Structure 1
Amino acid sequence: MKRSTVLSLSAIAGVAVVGGALAIGLPQENASAATNVATGFASQNGGTTGGAGGAVVKATTGTQIHEALCKRAAASTPITIQVEGTINHGNTAKVSGSSCNTAAGLIELKGVSNVTIVGVGAGATFDQLGIHIRDSSNIVIQNVTIQNVKKSGSPLSNGGDAISMESTVRNVWVDHSTLVASGGESAGFDGLFDMKDDTQYVTLSYSILRNSGRGGLIGSSETDTGNSFITFHHNKYENLDSRTPLLRGGVAHMYNNHYLKLNESGINARAGAKAKVENNYFQNSKDVLGTFYTAAAGTWQTAGNVLDNVTWSAKGTEYNPAGPSMASTTTVAVPYTAVLDSAACVPSIVAATAGAGTGLKVSDGKCAVTANPTATATTSPTKAPTTSPTKAPTTSPTTAPTKAPTAAPTTSPSASASQPTGANLSLVGSADGSSKMSGTSFGYVKDGKTTTYWSPNGTTGEVSIKWGTATKVARINIVPASGSSIGAYQVVNGSTGAVLKSGTGAGVITFPATSLTKLTFKITSSTTTPKIAEFQTFAS
């Protein structure tokens, strides 16, 4: 892949070389694409740098974007195109030249390499007009909004995809962008982020995909399985019917994404696909992982995910949800090091960083936000990870995440944890459990008395609070009987089997607010027979 050397910085105002990359000072809260470094699979195969090291050109129309591409010395000459304003059909005409192959009505990156398109100033919006990448490599798209691209109705653009890649595409990084539609296929829209016909080494990071019937696909058919090595991290998928993504063959890595309101299905691994799904937060959604609408099965490795009010359908011949246990069915190795946030903080981290106009802020991997990342993508051996967190913060996967969550889920509840507020929801529920010692009762954990208690028939066991309808719980208080102690525990969503929190000891325990009909406190080890006087549950 050809790279240019910067011979003179004086020709470009506000430019500095930072860590060997070209950083361009921009007149907005966001810096240039060179401020952050491509992560995930886009960091492999030589890396993805876009137009770093080349000329910097400003564009306020689609025609000017095409002109910038066409005026280069060659189709591989590096260029960064700073876009400001609204790009639409009215200002996007075809431009001809030896270094480009453009079309009216969409931004066409066809047969080109070493290109960055970055939103600056008051922002860049591609309105009803998509970006099509074909037979191209080393492309960066950053800090842009692409909205309401249609494949039927008027006006038409890009087959209805916000961003599409096809026909031998390599090394694309889409970052801090917002891709939105206003409905599904019946309303004239298709996918938000599609890849097909030999597309590889792509990362979608810190972006928002919203209000569409289809999030995106990797492979256009069950035989189009040569698309692979795709990373999705710190993205927000909201109000989508399906395809988050649809993966046919190949390998994909999904971590630290917030999936909210997936209406029909989520990550759809098909036709031999292998999906590594770790430390994501799935919320208010249905069938978030599995093989759907086909008998050509895919596989997945799961770890560290949180399931918050996730429902699951029954299995069928062509419908195989991974839940409720979401157990791993394969192992997936990735050739890079990913520092993962704990899933519990993903909603807040993604809310602060994802999408256009957020200042290119990123996570530090410790559930905190930074505007000035210093870490660069690094590589690690391709063998599958062998170490596991002490306790998984969600459903019990059999394999480990690439790196254990920074905020370990095994720490004991702090003595200074905030006391619960509001009504004790256990008082309006019922109780059951695994076993009970003679003279104790499951119901004693919800009778409001500390003189009565439940104790298992041994040093381990579980007790549950149940409700007739879905009830949201975010905090519990385990009150041991006098003289008793609690060893290691898991707080389990009895409706799905997801582990919401792990630790040791009794007291106040918090976890992401979860709607459920059954909440289980499972004692996994204890040096003496544990005795629980009260199992209190609270909404906050």
Structure 2
Amino acid sequence: MAASSHRRSLRSRRTLVVSAAVVAAGVGAGVVVMNANAGTVDLYHQTLAAKDGWASSGTGTTGGTKADAAHTFTVSTRAQLVKALGSASDTTPRIIKIKGTIDANTDDAGKKLTCASYAAGTGYSLSAYLKAYDPATYGRSKLPSGTQEKARAAAQTKQAKNIVFKVPANTTVVGVAGTNAGISGGMLQIQSVDNVIVRNLNFSATEDCFPQWDPTDGDDGNWNSNYDSVTLRGATHVWADHNSFTDAAHFDSANPKYYGREYQIHDGALDITKSSDLVTVSRNQFTNHDKTMLIGSSDSEPSGKLRVSIHHNIWKGIVQRAPLARVGQVHIYNNYYDVTTLNGYATQYSINSRAKAQVIAENNYWRLPTGGKVAKLLSGDGTGSVKGSGNLVNGTVTDLVAAYNAASSKDLKTTVNWTATLTAGLETSAKNLPTSLAATTGAGVLK
């Protein structure tokens, strides 16, 4: 949920003038309202409400709300976005309004760039790469090295310089209402900075032109790609709200296979790694994606970080990692999971708790198709915990952990070592979530 810069509580804001439909759905965020004392509450200066998840802890999350006119930008091209972001080390508050869809795969003049554009001059070609590292001749015991691997890495570096947007501290990046605002083919990188807000944006087609073959990944090897639509690495106080994430227009079903393995060009949608901390992910839509949200990049990440709240999101056509949680304290509540296969994306599991993660999952709703198994909605490695309550499957209260443990040799633990207190907006019943969240989540809802 959002709040004004004066930190009005969600309850008080709901007394303001908002549409009956929004109030019925329990949503006050993002609607421009009038307050006799504070004037218009505008989308660009809204901050995270008190007690709204982990990102409200301590100093809270205000993004660029203190930006002056010189640091308030409206951008509609890649070049303008790069200029508005400035240096990743500049902590001056800034507000960046994205108008329309920015194509990250364009040059400074707006000319379209392709995978061939990034490969040009590097010596890389997919056919040569496939010939060089064919397991039948190269083997499966070591990562690729040599001329073609160096060329692949060089081409990937060229692409990264163009499509990775580094977000500095004290920044709000927000879509302009009514413009189909978003970023196509790019990655917002929030790394080693504090106090960032990302709202009202469509993220699509984040694709790696140059996946790396790893013959040692699993029993049969895997192709691994390099870009998330939004990535948090060592970031703190981040609020991601009312965004939409999708692989469209290129779904995984269109990926070819090489060496018998899918040539995967997508990585994460919104990943929270490298000891990131104090994050709230609210009212987003995640659709048509495989490895969607990774919390913690390694089982050996230090404890005490990776505190994340995930609430009032829609997950539809998601294969896995909704989320996969390691190490941290993660609160997952009031989400809607539709695990019906969509555009070829068939769910393997929704929530994975591993590496001693401490997950509280309450009052979520799963739509399970005929033949689907409740035992497959969760996953774990035998060390993680999921404390569950009030979760519904097709409208019926269901003990997801008990169902999983009955079918698994690596039981999820059922108790956690923390108590969730930052729970503004928590709905005690999940019954109406499929209907209410359909109208109140994702990009384009905020006005």
Pick the structure with more strand per residue.
1
For structure 2, list consecutive stretches of 5 or more residues without a partner in the other structure: 7-31, 110-159, 212-223, 254-261, 340-345
Counterpart in the other structure of 1:278: 362
User: Looking at CA atoms only, which structure, 1 or 2, has the larger radius of gyration?
Assistant: 1
- TM-score norm. by structure 2 comes to 0.64
Q: Find the partner of 2:415 among 304, 329, 335.
A: 329
1:225–1:250 contact (8 Å) kept in structure 2 = no
Mapped partners of 2:107, 2:242: distance in 1: 23
1:113-512 mapped onto 2 (5 Å cutoff): 113-121=169-177, 122-153=179-210, 159-166=226-233, 168-181=234-247, 182-183=251-252, 186-226=263-303, 227-261=305-339, 263-284=347-368, 286=373, 287=375, 289-292=377-380, 294-295=381-382, 297-308=383-394, 315-317=407-409, 319-320=410-411, 328-330=414-416, 332-341=418-427, 342-359=429-446
Mapped partners of 1:145, 1:231: distance in 2: 21
CA distance 1:22–1:133, shift in 2 (3 Å): farther
Counterpart in the other structure of 2:55: 42
CA offsets 1:373-405 (integer angstroms, 9 cap, x no match):
xxxxxxxxxxxxxxxxxxxxxxxxxxxxxxxxx
One-letter amino acid of the counterpart of residue 219, structure 1: G
Mapped partners of 1:57, 1:351: distance in 2: 31
One-letter amino acid of the counterpart of residue 160, structure 1: Y
Mapped partners of 2:353, 2:86: distance in 1: 39
One-letter amino acid of the counterpart of residue 162, structure 1: S
The answer to whether 1:108 aligns with 2:192 is: no
Mapped partners of 1:16, 1:355: distance in 2: 20
1:70-109 mapped onto 2 (5 Å cutoff): 70=86, 75-91=90-106, 103-109=161-167
CA distance 1:86–1:316, shift in 2 (3 Å): same
CA offsets 1:15-49 (integer angstroms, 9 cap, x no match):
99979999675xxxxx3351763721111121001
CA offsets 1:264-288 (integer angstroms, 9 cap, x no match):
1111010110111111001116546
Considering Cα pairs closer than 8 Å and 6+ residues apart, tell me whether 1 or 2 has the greater RCO.
Answer: 2
2:359–2:387 contact (8 Å) kept in structure 1 = yes
Counterpart in the other structure of 1:477: none
Q: Find the partner of 2:78 among 62, 67, 82.
A: 62
Which range is displaced more, 282-291 or 244-253?
282-291
Give the deviation of 1:343 after TM superposition: 0.6
1:131–1:158 contact (8 Å) kept in structure 2 = no
For structure 1, list consecutive stretches of 5 or more residues without a partner in the other structure: 7-14, 26-30, 95-101, 361-540
CA offsets 1:350-384 (integer angstroms, 9 cap, x no match):
11111000126xxxxxxxxxxxxxxxxxxxxxxxx
One-letter amino acid of the counterpart of residue 48, structure 1: T
One-letter amino acid of the counterpart of residue 352, structure 1: A
Give the deviation of 1:329 after TM superposition: 3.1
Aligned length: 322
CA RMSD of aligned residues (A): 3.4
Pick the structure with more helix per residue.
2
Mapped partners of 2:294, 2:64: distance in 1: 26
CA offsets 1:291-347 (integer angstroms, 9 cap, x no match):
43x34x101211111012999666344x54x6xxxx933353124243322110111
2:189–2:232 contact (8 Å) kept in structure 1 = yes
Q: Percent identity?
A: 28
- TM-score norm. by structure 1 comes to 0.54
